């Protein structure tokens, strides 16, 4: 790929250097969805733990840089 970038190769070489890019893109998308689900689950657990320890939703919203309403929806939402 470096040769192609340095104009020492062809586009055809670039295209054939990738093994099944379509399935790789699908795999990356799937992994990103899994990551987002895990992140939301972690936030949900943190919200519930914080609430049980007297931490306000406003405090969490400021910490994460999101609205208090969004933190409230995270706390109430049981779906991934």
pLDDT tens across 27-67, in order? 999 999 999 999 999 999 999 999 999 999 999 999 999 99
Q: Residue 79: is its pLDDT beyond 60? A: no
Distance CA(7)–CA(3), nearest Å, equals: 6
Answering whether pTM is above 0.85, one says no
| Per-residue model confidence (pLDDT) at position 24 | 84
Q: What pLDDT does residue 39 have?
A: 93
- DSSP H helices, 1-80, are 2-5, 11-17, 21-52, 57-64, 68-76
At residue 66, the pLDDT reads 95
| Domains of the chain by residue range | 2-76
């Amino acid at each position: 790929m470096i040769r192609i970038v340095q104009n020492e190769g062809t586009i055809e070489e670039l295209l054939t250097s990738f093994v099944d890019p379509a399935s790789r893109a699908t795999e990356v998308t799937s992994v990103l969805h899994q990551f987002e689900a895990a992140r939301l689950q972690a936030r949900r657990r943190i919200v519930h733990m914080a609430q049980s320890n007297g931490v306000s939703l406003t405090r969490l919203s400021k910490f994460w840089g999101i609205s208090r309403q969004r933190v409230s929806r995270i706390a109430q939402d049981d779906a991934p």
